[in-house]
Structure 1
C-alpha cells in the first residue's frame, strides 16, 4: 500500500515510517495538519494514518474536510485520546477505524490491511446524468467522453447536483452539504463555485447543464 502518516511526534512518526517501509509499504510522513490535509487531498494514497492532536489543524478537522469534499481515502485515527466520546467523535467525522496509543505495531498493520481489503472489495461507483459521468472511486469527471478537471469542492458540488438531477437544489442545501452550515447569508460564495463549475463543464458544448432558478437555487438538467 501507499500510505500517508500525519503525526507530529517525531519519535513515533519516524518509527511508523520505518516500520511500514520494512513491511513493504511506501510511506510518506508529515508532521503538520495543513500539510497533511494538502497531501491527503491528492488522493494518491491507499490509506491515511491520522493523529488527532496536530499543529494548525486537528485530525477531526482534517477528517471532516476530506469527507465533505467527497474524498473517500480510508483513514485510521491514531491517538492517545481514547475515551468512548473521543472514539465516537472520530468515527462520526468519517474515520474508518480508531487505534489508541500506546499500541502494538502488528495490530496497526492488521487494521490497515483490513480497511485496505474493504476498499479493494468495493465496486467502482459511478454516477451519470446525460453526457456527464462521475467516477466516485477515482474522482474522474467526463462529459461526452472528454475528461474535465475539477477541484475537490467543485467535484462535491457536481456530485450533489447530479444526485438531485432534475430537481431544484437551494443555496441552503449546498451550504449544508459543502460547509456543514445552514447559514446562507449574503455571501456569493455559492454563486462563485457554481460559475466556476459551469465554466468547466460547459466549455466547448452548446447545451448548458446547470441552470439558475431565480429565487430558489439551481438545477442540473441533462438529457
Structure 2
C-alpha cells in the first residue's frame, strides 16, 4: 500500500519514517498547501496529516470531494472528544493522539487502509494466492513466491482491486510515487517477470493486459484448501 503523509511536524516525520521502515510505500509532502495537490495527482490508500493543517491549508470536505474513497487519518495533540466527533462527522476516518506509541499508530493506520478495501484482517486471498499484507509475502499453497519489492507492490496493488482496470500510470505512480519512474521497457520487464512467477497458477488467476488502457487481475478459481500462516 501507499500512504500520502504530510510531514508538517516532527511527529509526522517520525511516523513517516516508521511507515517506510515497515515496508509500506509513502508519498511525502512537507508543506500544508501541497496536501490537496498531491492527493489530486495520484491514488493513495490513506492520507495522514496533522489536524492543525485543517485550519490553515485544507479541509476534510475538499479532500473528500477530490477522492471520496480514500480514508483520512488525523494526528492531533490531546484532542477533545467533541473535536474528535466533529472531525469524524466531517469526513475523517480516525483520529490518533500524537502521544500514542508508534507501533499502535502503525497498526491503526494499516487497519484503516486495508478496511477501506473491504479487508478485515492483514491477509488476502485471490484464487490460489495468499497475500500476507503485514509481512509483504505471497504464498501459493506451501510455497512462498520469491518476489522483489517492486513485483510485490505491483501484485498487491492489483490484488486489492480484483477485476478493476488499473492504468499503467496508476501502477507507476503507486510503485514510484511520482519520482524516478523507469523507462517503459523496464516496467514491461517487471510485468513479464511477475507473470512468470504466476505461470504455475495461470489456469486460476491471470494478469490481463488491456491494450492502451492498463492491466487487470482476473481470478477464475478459488483456493481449494485453507492455509494458515505460521505465527
TM-score, normalising length: structure 2? 0.47
Q: Considering only CA atoms, is the larger Rg found in Structure 1 or Structure 2?
A: 1
